[in-house]
Amino acid sequence: MMYRMISTTLLCLTVTAPLAVQAETTWEFINTDNCVSTNCGSNYRNRHDWVRTYTYESGDAADPVDVYGIYNTGKTSKTDPNPRNAADGSGQLWLGPITAWDGLAVHTYNEGWSAPEHATDSNGSFEAVLFDFGVDNLVDMGSVTIGWPNDNSQCYGEDCGTDITVLAYTDLGDPAITAALPANGYTNLDAEYADLNAANGWDLIGSYENLERGTSKDINPNDVASRYWLVAAYNPILDDRGWTENNEFFKLRAVSGIWNEPPIVVPSAAVPEPGALVLLASGLAFFGWKRQGSSS
């Protein structure tokens, strides 16, 4: 009887707040209904944003996500005489406008607005979409879906596949490339793709090949969860697989993952220290022993 009382007492004292609920959520980037930015729409030249915010499309409720367009260039400023593009993946990272029609597309400073360059691509510059799921929010991104794909007839005569590289930021705080964000206009992010490495808090999730339009591609087998994600056209600076370079053209249609809501913080006073629990258990045990002694 006394053992039951001690066990029940300890159980009651060690109960804390409920664990955060894990929920499957999808954010889709093909409709204007769930886009809450200024220039949502499909007219690229006149309907682009420097950051675009999307609410979740399906699944359990989640906070909106901010998306940014990132690309590399040989220029360090708009007046820099160096080449504007850096096809080898080197050069400074810049913020560029982001648009959407059948998926997200990144635009560089001197890029055309027609197919195939109206996409997230690796021709001339390596482009990527940066996701920010918000303060204290972690997403275990499990799949990526592309919309408009690169068509061989539009890829300068090359055999084009749709290959991507995915990174997640897993360090404390914010990554250095977000220091200048949000911004309104082409902005030097004071970093290079080579800086997005483990030493600076970026984990390589992997590179994935031959994505198909409208079909989700599973990623992230180790279930990494992060606030910041980068989905890029296949980039050998980030992950050199020896694949063909500079021929990726696609729209990023959707991402899905496990939404980890921020945990409920319980004041420390509400949970006894381990030493206090030991003392309490010892006291209860002694009390039970005394009762048994007195009744014998």
**Predicted confidence (pLDDT) per residue in 155-167, tens digit:** 554 555 689 999 9
Quick check: is 16 in a domain? no
Q: Is residue 124 part of a domain?
A: yes
Based on the domain organization, do 253 and 279 belong to the same domain? no
- The pLDDT tens digits of the residues spanning 62-97 come to 899 999 999 998 776 656 656 555 666 678 999 999
Nearest to 126 by CA among 66, 73, 179, 80: 73
Phi and psi angles of residue 140, each rounded to the nearest 5 degrees, phi first: -90, 85
Could you tell me if 154 and 282 lie in one domain?
Answer: no
pLDDT score of 270 = 47
**Cα gap 237→230, rounded to integer Å:** 14
Residues 212 and 241 in one domain: yes
C-alpha to C-alpha distance for 98 and 129, rounded to whole angstroms: 9
pLDDT digit string, tens, across residues 107-160? 888 777 777 778 898 888 899 999 999 999 999 999 999 998 865 555 554 555
d(CA 67, CA 256): 14
User: What does the pLDDT look like over 192-241, one tens digit per residue?
Assistant: 999 999 999 999 999 999 998 899 999 999 999 999 999 999 999 999 99
Q: Is 216 a domain residue?
A: yes
The answer to whether residue 136 is domain-embedded is yes
Residue with tokens 């991507």: 164
* pLDDT mean over 277-283: 50
pLDDT single digits (tens) 32-52: 778 888 777 655 555 688 999
Q: Do residues 129 and 213 share a domain?
A: yes
Range of the domain at 100: 21-260
187 and 79, same structural domain?
yes
Q: Distance (Å, rounded) from C-alpha 100 to C-alpha 238? A: 25
Q: Provide the token pair at 130.
A: 């940066």
Instruction: Judge if 64 and 208 occupy the same domain.
Output: yes
pLDDT at 26 exceeding the cut of 80:
yes
Residues 177 and 286 in one domain: no
Please check whether residue 184 is in contact with residue 140, taking contact to mean a CB–CB distance below 8 angstroms: no
Q: Are residue 200 and residue 277 in the same domain, yes or no?
A: no
Residues 289 and 229 in one domain: no
106 domain-assigned: yes
**Per-residue confidence (pLDDT) for residue 277, from 0 to 100:** 47
Half-sphere exposure of residue 44, counting CA atoms within 13 Å on the CB side? 23
Q: Are 164 and 190 in contact (CB under 8 A)?
A: no
User: Could you give the CA distance from residue 144 to residue 104 in angstroms, rounded to a whole number?
Assistant: 12
Same domain, yes or no, for 250 and 272? no
The predicted structure's pLDDT at residue 65: 96
User: Please, is 22 exposed, middle or buried when counting C-beta atoms within 10 Å of its C-beta (0-12, 13-18, 19+)?
Assistant: middle
15: in domain: no
One domain for residues 139 and 274: no
Tell me what percent of the chain is helix, strand and coil, each rounded to the nearest 5.
15, 30, 50
Examine residue 147 and state whether it is found in any structural domain, yes or no: yes
Shared-domain flag, residues 215 and 281? no
HSE, CB side, 13 Å, CA atoms: give it for residue 226: 27
Query: What is the count of structural domains for the chain?
Result: 2
Helix, strand, or coil (residue 270): helix
